[in-house]
């Protein structure tokens, strides 16, 4: 049972890694804009999964980086939501 539990957190790390790589790839191939809501969400999901994986193999530097990434992503989401509300109200 412990092996399955540990493998689950390895899968979390791989999902996080895939989200980071996919979002970066999409931006570099100009299939996604780095300012798009989807890009910010993909980075938030990636950092959450990476942070979860670090609960099994902790590394302080990596954990701090993921926490900072989460805070920046949440800030970007709120900024985009506020900007969307502002443009909706001014266009009426």
Task: Return the domain boundaries, the chain.
Answer: 2-90
pLDDT at 91: 47
User: Does the predicted model carry a pTM greater than 0.95?
Assistant: no
DSSP for 26-86, please give it. HHHTTSS-TTSHHHHHHHHHHHHHHHHHTTTS--HHHHHHHHHHHHHHHHHHHHHHHHHHH
Successive 10-residue mean pLDDT values, the chain, 92 residues:
87 97 97 94 97 94 97 94 66 48
Are residues 33 and 26 in contact, defined by beta-carbon separation less than 8 angstroms?
Answer: no
């Amino acid at each position: 049972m412990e092996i399955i539990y540990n493998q689950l957190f390895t899968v979390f790390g791989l999902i996080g890694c895939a989200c980071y790589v996919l979002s970066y790839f999409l931006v570099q191939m100009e299939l996604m804009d780095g300012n798009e809501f989807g890009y910010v969400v993909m980075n938030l999901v990636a950092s959450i999964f990476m942070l979860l994986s670090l609960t099994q193999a902790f590394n302080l530097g990596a954990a701090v980086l993921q926490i900072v990434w989460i805070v920046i992503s949440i800030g970007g989401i709120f900024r985009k939501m506020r900007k969307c509300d502002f443009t909706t109200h001014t266009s009426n």
